[in-house]
């Protein structure tokens, strides 16, 4: 499966202000931080409950399973999971600068937006927030994996379609890797989900790990 989106680039009204916003932040207005010698290359995961492992043991979520695979296949790399259950893109945008300066990642995985969609939050704001996260990550020299979501048409087909399209447009505009739908390998089977019908069970997590790995692994070479 191919995860990059090759649509023509087009300008966004909100993108013009992104770099001005970054430059307005004292921490990022200086020389991009360089990794500390001797520290391992790091993958920073900025996600919501789907990445934080809601309802699971600490070692059962796809991020923890990915960390185990990296220890086997990419020794020397590490994962820092800075995901928070209930996080929206606004929360991720508010935290991204501090996190990239703290972790100094080589790769940033952004898995946010599901809570925006469930609450019907404005798509324009979601795009702004994700753009800021991507911009901050690229400013410090990190590769970015943008993990998309899909939502049911509870707020109308236009909203659901615009929600999905936001990820594709951002990936094309910023030239980052896109995994279009995190839950793609498990979404069709209700038995893959906890009682809330939102969060995958432990048995479904290896499939999510494998799905993410297909897009993440090339960024580690």
Of residues 134 and 221, the one with the higher pLDDT is 134
Q: Read off the pLDDT of each residue in 61-83 and give the average, rounded to a whole number.
A: 97
Does some domain include residue 8?
Answer: no
pLDDT in tens, 168-211: 999 999 999 999 999 999 999 999 999 999 999 999 999 999 99
Per-residue pLDDT, 134 = 98
Does some domain include residue 91?
Answer: yes
Q: Which domain, by its residues, includes 98? A: 16-25+39-220
Per-residue pLDDT, 39 = 78
pLDDT in tens, 11-69: 444 443 444 445 445 555 555 556 565 679 999 999 999 999 999 999 999 999 999 99
The total domain count for the chain is 1
Tokens 């799905």, located at residue: 211
Per-residue pLDDT, 61 = 98
Active site residue 196: yes
Active-site residue (options: 48, 49, 173, 211): 49
- Compute the half-sphere exposure of residue 2: CA atoms within 13 Å on the CB side of its CA: 4
Q: 75 to each of 21, 68, 79, 158, 209, how far by Cα in Å?
A: 36, 10, 11, 45, 17
CATH number at residue 90: 3.40.50.1110
Does some domain include residue 5?
Answer: no
Q: Could you tell me if 103 and 137 are in contact, meaning their C-beta atoms sit under 8 angstroms apart?
A: no
pTM of the model: 0.86
Active-site residue (options: 191, 195, 196, 221): 196
Q: Could you tell me if 36 and 104 are in contact, meaning their C-beta atoms sit under 8 angstroms apart?
A: yes
């Amino acid at each position: 499966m191919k995860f990059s989106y090759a649509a023509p680039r087009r300008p966004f009204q909100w993108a013009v202000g992104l770099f001005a916003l970054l430059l307005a932040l004292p921490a990022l207005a200086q020389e991009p931080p360089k990794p500390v010698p001797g520290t391992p290359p790091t993958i920073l995961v900025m996600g919501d409950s789907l990445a934080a492992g809601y309802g699971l043991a600490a070692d059962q979520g796809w991020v923890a399973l990915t960390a185990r695979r990296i220890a086997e296949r990419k020794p020397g790399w590490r994962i820092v999971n800075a995901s928070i259950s209930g996080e929206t893109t606004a929360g991720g945008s508010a935290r991204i600068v501090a996190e990239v300066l703290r972790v100094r990642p080589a790769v940033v995985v952004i898995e946010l937006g599901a809570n925006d969609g469930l609450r019907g939050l404005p798509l324009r704001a979601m795009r702004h927030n994700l753009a800021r996260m991507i911009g901050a990550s690229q400013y410090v020299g990190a590769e970015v994996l943008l993990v998309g979501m899909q939502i049911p048409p509870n707020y109308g087909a236009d909203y659901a379609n615009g929600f999905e399209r936001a990820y594709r447009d951002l990936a094309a505009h910023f030239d980052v890797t896109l995994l279009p739908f995190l839950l793609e390998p498990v979404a069709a089977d209700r038995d893959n989900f906890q009682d809330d019908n939102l969060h995958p069970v432990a048995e479904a997590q290896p499939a999510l790990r494998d799905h993410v790995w297909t897009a993440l692994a090339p960024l580690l070479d």
